[in-house]
């Protein structure tokens, strides 16, 4: 139950006033917010976070976009957080993302796709560490008696 993953609510979502709507999706699903902060991504941080994409032709635009204004970083905690969060987010190309997913409902673009979510448990650990110090994450109790059966 303690699985954690990282979300980044991207500049397009802030610009369009979607932060609350996006965060609600994860709260309503039953996930706990373990940490949240606003930050300005530097070029160095962008290159580290998107190291697997630095050589792609679209990387300069991605870096410019992600460093253009503040973003909101969120650590989500709960059952199968990494996999379920990716399902809620939807595929990278928001034009093809199903309705009901965050990208499907809020974007029609491959680049301005409103949100980042870690793609595996290993990546999630690295990415949480990249954006949050241990004391910025909180271990409070969420009353989940109505969310799960006792053996789940």
Minimum Å distance from CB 92 to Mg ion?
Answer: 7
CB of 113 to Mg ion, least distance (A): 10
Question: Would the CA dihedral through 30, 33, 38, 41 be positive or negative?
Answer: negative
Which residues of this protein are in contact with ligand UDP, per CB under 6 A? 53, 58, 62, 92, 110-111, 113, 116, 119
Which is closer to ligand UDP, CB of 105 or CB of 142? Answer: 105
Taking each helix axis from N to C end, the angle separating 81-89 and 121-131, rounded to the nearest 10 degrees, works out to 80
Q: Which stretch binds Mg ion (CB under 5 A): 4-12, 16-24, 107-115, 117-125?
A: 117-125
> CB 56 → ligand UDP: shortest distance, Å?
7
Q: Which is nearer to Mg ion, 125 or 142 (CB)?
A: 125
Residues with catalytic roles: 116
Report what 120 binds from Mg ion, ligand UDP, none; CB cut-off 5-8 Å by kind. none
Give the Cα separation of 143 and 152 in Å (integer).
Answer: 15
Residues 61-96: b if buried by 16+ CB within 10 A, e if exposed: ebbebbbeeebbbbbbbbbebbebbbebbbeeebee
Query: Which residues inside 118-147 make contact with Mg ion, applying CB under 5 A?
Result: 119
Q: Which is nearer to ligand UDP, 99 or 134 (CB)?
A: 99
Task: Quote the tokens at residue 131.
Answer: 């954006």
- Exposed (0-12), middle (13-18) or buried (19+): which is 149, by Cβ within 10 Å? exposed
**Site residues (vs Mg ion, CB under 5 A):** 119
């Amino acid at each position: 139950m303690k699985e954690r993953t990282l979300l980044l609510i991207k500049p397009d979502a802030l610009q369009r006033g979607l932060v609350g709507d996006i965060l609600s999706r994860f709260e309503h699903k039953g996930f706990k917010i373990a940490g949240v902060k606003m930050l300005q991504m530097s070029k160095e941080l962008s290159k580290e976070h998107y190291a697997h994409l630095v050589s792609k032709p679209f990387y300069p635009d991605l870096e410019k976009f992600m460093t253009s204004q503040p973003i909101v970083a969120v650590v989500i905690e709960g059952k199968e957080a990494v996999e379920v969060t990716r399902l809620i987010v939807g595929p990278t190309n928001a034009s093809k993302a199903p309705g009901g997913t965050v990208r499907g409902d809020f974007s029609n673009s491959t680049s301005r796709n409103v949100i980042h979510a870690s793609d595996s448990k290993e990546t999630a650990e690295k990415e949480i560490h990249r954006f949050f110090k241990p004391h910025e994450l909180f271990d409070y109790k969420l009353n989940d008696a109505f969310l799960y059966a006792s053996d789940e």
